[in-house]
Amino acid sequence: MSLANVGRRLSVLAGGQMGELASALGRGSGQTWSSCKASDSASAARTEMLRLMRRAAERFTAAQTEEELYRALLELVREATGAGAGAVHRRDGETLVPSAHYGGGWLRESHEVGDASLPGLATQRHCPIRVVRGGMAQRGWLTSAEDDDSSALSMPVDLDRDRQLIISLLGGGTGLPGTPRGEFTPGDIELVEALAVQMGPHLRRLETERLASVGQLAGSMVHDFKNSVLIIRGAAELCGRVAPETQRFVDLITTESDRMVEMMQELLDFARGNRTLKVQSVSLRRFLAEVAEAHRAVLERAQIELLLDIQAESAAFDPLQVDRALSNLIANARDAMPEGGTLTLRAASDAQFVYLSVQDTGVGMSPEVRKRLFEPFFTEGKVKGTGLGTAIVQRVAEGHGGQVEVLTAEGQGTTMTVCLPLRAN
């Protein structure tokens, strides 16, 4: 949710009343900083706000782990709002996983979207919820005797397309000594959201750093593993020739070895990251015939009929990279057809793009899988998935200035298309 939306989507649950907020939003966070004299309170509040933001930048930059980031966020939020207890939950599917907290017993537990807890409700409604004292028990929501006298605030923050945090606070208000704790203000909501949004890029930074180190390690190991597996595979084939009665087991070794090599190749491709493109003019007929040939044996064993449909002559791209992309799509298509089926490898073009697609008659994707398809390490319904295939496909397509299109229907099949500009840039 963007900052601009906060005011519109805010729901205040105070004895069943909604409202009073639009005007308050304009005032910023004056109440939070009300220790200053009225005359210069506005400028003092601004200075205070800038200090807070600067401190936030420093704290977030210094954080080395996700946990440290969440903790820093909560400490800053505590400072800004005076909340007596707080928690950050990370949304993982329908579960809200506690990631940092201070105080507040039930608040630090894990919750579900739409359950009777405040974080659960705020996530379901996808808007901040403020509750006045006693409001939670009155509504039959999860609370505890000590907290029920608190005001509360729970708000979901979308950091990016598939990352959502839920920040929940208890006992907010002025935070001034001797003053009774008041309710959370719209200004508090804005401030919390601003802090959380500022944290987002740092979360991504940590993820990138982690992936880079995993990638380096994987890259160096995978080479050696792959060679060993190929030697085992070769030896098994020889056994089959020497003792034909063992063929059944040899086939098993062969299939599983191929799988392992495929997984390692995916890991290696992913770890290598973006490489410089070696674009050349490619005859699509010959190129796709070669790609098909490389997979024919495996597909035959899986009872999959392979069809070629070539309606374009040539294009300019990096054949090695596009081969990796198509191989990943073919492997996914094969996995989607455990009972066999038809796989069509197709080339078409228009004035701007060449379209290379892999169509299967397999299980198709659920909306959830479709949504997360390109996420690195996302794999669903496979024992041996790396979750890297589609991420590699996307990188290859985008590296060429193109994109990947997905057409899928559950129970009917999937067509994945790599669209490449005719003139790769």
Closest residue to ligand ADP using C-beta atoms:
389
**Which C-beta is closer to Mg ion: that of 200 or that of 385?**
385
- Could you tell me the sign of the dihedral formed by the alpha carbons of 265, 267, 268, 274, in that order? positive
The closest of 384, 418, 401, 388 to 291, measured between CA atoms, is 418
Least distance (Å) between residue 383 CB and ligand ADP: 10
Least distance (Å) between residue 395 CB and ligand ADP: 11
Tokens of 238: 């020889």
365 binds, among Mg ion, ligand ADP, none (CB under 5 to 8 A by kind): ligand ADP
Least distance (Å) between residue 331 CB and Mg ion: 5
What is d(CA 385, CA 294) in angstroms, rounded to the nearest whole number?
21
Q: Which helix (H) or strand (E) holds 336?
A: none
Least distance (Å) between residue 231 CB and ligand ADP: 24
What is d(CA 218, CA 268) in angstroms, rounded to the nearest whole number?
7
Least distance (Å) between residue 285 CB and ligand ADP: 24
What is d(CA 114, CA 19) in angstroms, rounded to the nearest whole number?
23
83 binds, among Mg ion, ligand ADP, none (CB under 5 to 8 A by kind): none
35 by DSSP, 3-state: which?
coil
Tokens of 93: 């599917």
Q: How big is the chain by its Cα radius of gyration, in Å? A: 28
340 binds, among Mg ion, ligand ADP, none (CB under 5 to 8 A by kind): none
What is d(CA 113, CA 120) in angstroms, rounded to the nearest whole number?
4
- Could you tell me the sign of the dihedral formed by the alpha carbons of 181, 182, 184, 186, in that order? negative
**Which C-beta is closer to ligand ADP: that of 291 or that of 363?**
363
User: Which residues bind to ligand ADP, rule: CB under 6 A?
Assistant: 328, 332-333, 336, 360, 362-365, 369, 373, 378-382, 385-391, 414
User: Which residues bind to Mg ion, rule: CB under 5 A?
Assistant: 332, 389
Least distance (Å) between residue 89 CB and ligand ADP: 26
219 binds, among ligand ADP, Mg ion, none (CB under 5 to 8 A by kind): none
**Which C-beta is closer to ligand ADP: that of 168 or that of 390?**
390
Tokens of 16: 């069943």
Ramachandran assignment for 107, one of left (phi > 0), alpha (psi -120 to 50 degrees), beta (any other): alpha
Least distance (Å) between residue 326 CB and ligand ADP: 12
**Which C-beta is closer to ligand ADP: that of 106 or that of 378?**
378
Could you say which DSSP state residue 31 is in? G
**Which C-beta is closer to ligand ADP: that of 309 or that of 313?**
309
**Which C-beta is closer to ligand ADP: that of 155 or that of 365?**
365
369 binds, among ligand ADP, Mg ion, none (CB under 5 to 8 A by kind): ligand ADP
Least distance (Å) between residue 73 CB and ligand ADP: 31
380 binds, among Mg ion, ligand ADP, none (CB under 5 to 8 A by kind): ligand ADP
**Which C-beta is closer to Mg ion: that of 32 or that of 390?**
390
419 binds, among Mg ion, ligand ADP, none (CB under 5 to 8 A by kind): none
**Which C-beta is closer to ligand ADP: that of 285 or that of 372?**
372
Least distance (Å) between residue 116 CB and ligand ADP: 33
**Which C-beta is closer to ligand ADP: that of 387 or that of 421?**
387
288 binds, among ligand ADP, Mg ion, none (CB under 5 to 8 A by kind): none
Mark 333-368 as b/e (b = at least 16 C-beta within 10 Å).
bbbbbeeebebbbbbebeeebbbbbbbbbbbbbeee
Could you tell me whether strands 304-310 and 341-349 are parallel, antiparallel, or unpaired per DSSP bridges?
A: parallel
User: Cα angle at 121 between 117 and 125, to 5 degrees?
Assistant: 175
What is d(CA 285, CA 313) in angstroms, rounded to the nearest whole number?
7
What is d(CA 260, CA 257) in angstroms, rounded to the nearest whole number?
5
Q: How many beta carbons lie within 10 A of that of residue 215, not counting itself?
A: 16
